[in-house]
């Protein structure tokens, strides 16, 4: 300001000095403001020359903080020029604080030094964090982790697979108590756990002609014991096989992960027919597999086997005669006791053997040889009458042929 000159009491020229961040509060006779104060426009005597010094008071200004969705930050109000420090950084779920900016567009970072000469607003900048969802498939196929920014949409991955089990969803706890719903990426790394339900499968048994065996239905992986072996007449059970061709034996351990059919293997038993020839020549036993065709043995030389006639002929057996001897006498012809009739025999009924036992056929020799007839006996002779076994028997009878 230009010096003011006067020689009579005059009001002081109004102050027109400007100082950024300060307010003019008057004049003082000392530069440090400790002298005599004069108000702006005060009356001065002008009796002596004097230099007056403007007296200033620093203004206080406020810095306001816009945390852009983060936690609140209190404003800072301080005198202009005083040192200002950055406040404690705000927090925001799923984000990392990126500093304060002097513009809402977050293009100009703000540096804290001293209080500016104006009220200002600072804006927080945030960077979205990326988090990872890890999948524990609990023995199922591997599932790749998902890493995405917080808040971004997250879809469930393709369900894993596990032999013999059905997938039951993802759970947020290892105890599988809390099912997890996929929406957006959470604000932390998490691990999800797969839940599985064991499937039930059935083992069906094809006994290949043996007695029926009930199917077994159990959960996959549960212990399975072999059922009671089936039975089949004339055969010995040889175990269960996984193929109809009976090439691969099956071992019972745990329930497989599929429905299967097992096939019974059988070994045909061998049985023996033993022959009691009742004084005839020895007849070798026959040992053959059950159900195989068996042929009769030949009779002893000089003998024939007599089979009983069909039942409808049993009471009407034909009479068999021999030519009369020329030496037979009329006395012998008239005598009811002078005949060639064989002694009747009781036929033997064969018994069916148990498995592995022999069957014995007994040959009966009922023919009694008649003594050589005399001349008196030459006229006639009583014919030999074969005896028929009673109904229901199947005994072979050997009869001697007369000389």
pLDDT in tens, 154-182: 999 999 999 999 999 999 999 999 999 99
Judgement on whether residues 51 and 33 belong to the same structural domain of the protein: yes
- Quick one: CA torsion of 278, 282, 287, 291, rounded to 10 degrees? -50
Query: Bigger pLDDT: 372 or 28?
Result: 28
Residue pLDDT, tens place only, 188-229: 999 999 999 999 999 999 999 999 999 999 999 999 999 999
What is the average pLDDT across 36-62?
A: 92
Q: CA distances (Å), 120 to each of 75, 110, 314, in order? A: 10, 11, 136
Residue 354: inside a domain: no
Given 78, 97, 128, the domain boundary residue is 128
Residue 278: inside a domain: no
Residue pLDDT, tens place only, 342-385: 444 444 444 444 444 444 444 443 333 334 333 333 343 344 44
Judgement on whether residues 395 and 317 belong to the same structural domain of the protein: yes
Judgement on whether residues 51 and 72 belong to the same structural domain of the protein: no
Residue 282: inside a domain: no
Percent of the chain residues topping a pLDDT of 70: 73
Residue 355: inside a domain: no
Can you tell me the distance from the alpha carbon of 1 to that of 6, in angstroms, rounded to the nearest whole number? 15
Residue 347: inside a domain: no
Q: How confident is the model at residue 132 (pLDDT cuts 50, 70, 90)?
A: very high
Given 70, 94, 128, the domain boundary residue is 128
Judgement on whether residues 69 and 29 belong to the same structural domain of the protein: no
Judgement on whether residues 182 and 213 belong to the same structural domain of the protein: no
Residue pLDDT, tens place only, 230-257: 999 999 999 999 999 999 999 999 999 9
Judgement on whether residues 328 and 255 belong to the same structural domain of the protein: no
Judgement on whether residues 323 and 389 belong to the same structural domain of the protein: yes
The beta strands (E) that lie in 137-232 are given as 146-149, 165-171, 190-198, 200-206, 216-219
Judgement on whether residues 157 and 116 belong to the same structural domain of the protein: no
* The pLDDT of residue 333: 39
* The pLDDT of residue 4: 85
Residue 289: inside a domain: no
What is the average pLDDT across 318-326?
A: 42
Judgement on whether residues 402 and 305 belong to the same structural domain of the protein: yes
Q: Do residues 67 and 122 lie in contact, with contact meaning Cβ atoms separated by under 8 Å?
A: no
* The pLDDT of residue 7: 84
Number of domains in the chain: 5
Judgement on whether residues 157 and 245 belong to the same structural domain of the protein: no
Q: Is residue 320 pLDDT above 80, yes or no?
A: no
* The pLDDT of residue 16: 87
* The pLDDT of residue 65: 98
Which residues, 6+ apart, have CB-to-CB distance to 245 below 8 Å?
A: none
Q: Is residue 122 pLDDT above 80, yes or no?
A: yes
pTM: 0.61
Residue 276: inside a domain: no
Given 145, 176, 198, the domain boundary residue is 198
Please provide residue 35's backbone torsions phi and psi, each rounded to the nearest 5 degrees.
-90, -150
CATH number of the domain at 206, please: 2.60.40.4270
Candidate ranges 5-9, 200-204, 316-320, 325-329; pick with highest mean pLDDT: 200-204
Domain of residue 322 covers: 299-342+361-403
Residue 275: inside a domain: no
Judgement on whether residues 74 and 27 belong to the same structural domain of the protein: no
Can you tell me the distance from the alpha carbon of 316 to that of 299, in angstroms, rounded to the nearest whole number? 26
Judgement on whether residues 82 and 122 belong to the same structural domain of the protein: yes
What is the average pLDDT across 14-23?
A: 92
């Amino acid at each position: 300001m230009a010096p003011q000159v006067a020689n009579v009491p005059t009001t002081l020229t109004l102050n027109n000095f400007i100082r950024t961040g300060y307010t003019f509060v008057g004049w003082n006779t000392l530069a440090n403001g400790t002298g005599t104060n004069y108000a702006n426009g005060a009356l001065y005597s002008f009796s002596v020359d004097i230099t007056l010094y403007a007296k200033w008071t620093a203004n206080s200004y406020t810095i306001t903080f816009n945390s852009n969705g983060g936690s609140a930050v209190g404003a800072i109000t301080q005198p202009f020029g005083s040192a200002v420090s950055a406040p404690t950084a705000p927090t925001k779920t799923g984000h990392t604080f990126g500093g304060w900016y002097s513009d809402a567009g977050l293009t100009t970072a703000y540096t804290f030094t001293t209080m500016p000469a104006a009220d200002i607003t600072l804006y927080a900048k945030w960077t979205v964090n990326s988090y990872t969802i890890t999948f524990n498939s609990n023995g199922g196929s591997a599932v790749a982790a998902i890493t995405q920014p917080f808040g971004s949409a997250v879809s469930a991955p393709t369900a894993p697979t596990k032999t013999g089990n059905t997938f039951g969803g993802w759970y947020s706890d290892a105890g599988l108590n809390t099912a997890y719903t996929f929406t957006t990426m959470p604000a932390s790394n998490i691990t999800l756990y797969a839940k599985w339900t064991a499937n039930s499968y059935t083992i069906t048994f094809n006994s290949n002609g043996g007695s029926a065996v009930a199917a077994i239905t159990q959960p996959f992986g549960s212990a399975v014991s072999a059922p009671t072996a089936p039975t089949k007449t004339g055969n010995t059970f040889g175990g269960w096989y996984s193929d109809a061709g009976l090439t691969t034996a099956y071992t019972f351990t745990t329930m497989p992960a599929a429905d299967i059919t097992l096939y019974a293997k059988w070994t045909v038993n061998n049985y023996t027919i033993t022959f009691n020839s009742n004084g005839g020549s020895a007849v070798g036993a026959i040992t053959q597999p059950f159900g195989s065709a068996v042929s009769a043995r030949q009779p002893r030389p000089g003998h024939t086997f007599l089979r009983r006639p069909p039942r409808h002929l049993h009471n009407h057996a034909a009479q068999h005669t021999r030519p009369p001897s020329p030496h037979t006498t009329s006395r012998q012809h008239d005598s009811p006791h002078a005949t060639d009739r064989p002694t009747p025999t009781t036929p033997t009924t064969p018994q069916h053997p148990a498995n592995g036992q022999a069957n014995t056929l007994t040959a009966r020799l009922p023919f009694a040889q008649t003594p050589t007839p005399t001349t008196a006996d030459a006229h006639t002779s009583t014919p030999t009458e074969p005896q028929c076994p009673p109904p229901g028997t199947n005994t072979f009878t050997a009869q001697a042929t007369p000389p």
